[in-house]
């Protein structure tokens, strides 16, 4: 996980990184849930980009061979 549990500086850093409304800073459970959701979405997006890139490279290699 990208965030450290319970470290105040890390929590503030996460607020900046994930652009979470400052209101949630006092509602830590809600904030952690939002961070977790956004982090998972980000991970999925990165994985999809990587898979897409690998497929593209494979296609280019095939074209290069023929």
The alpha carbon of 45 is separated from its chain's Cα centroid by a whole number of angstroms, namely: 8
The alpha carbon of 49 is separated from its chain's Cα centroid by a whole number of angstroms, namely: 12
Compute the residue count for the chain.
Answer: 66
For every one of its 66 residues, what pLDDT tens digit does the chain have, with 9 covering 90 and above?
454 455 666 666 666 666 655 555 566 777 678 777 877 777 777 777 777 777 777 777 666 655
Contact 34/18 with Cβ under 8 angstroms?
yes
Give the CA-trace dihedral at 49, 53, 56, 60, to 10 degrees: 170
């Amino acid at each position: 996980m990208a965030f450290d549990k319970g470290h105040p500086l890390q929590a503030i850093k996460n607020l900046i990184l994930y652009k979470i409304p400052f209101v949630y800073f006092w509602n830590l459970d809600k904030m952690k849930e939002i961070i977790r959701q956004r982090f998972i979405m980000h991970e999925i997006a990165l994985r999809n980009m990587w898979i897409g890139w690998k497929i593209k490279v494979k296609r280019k290699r095939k074209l290069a061979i023929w």
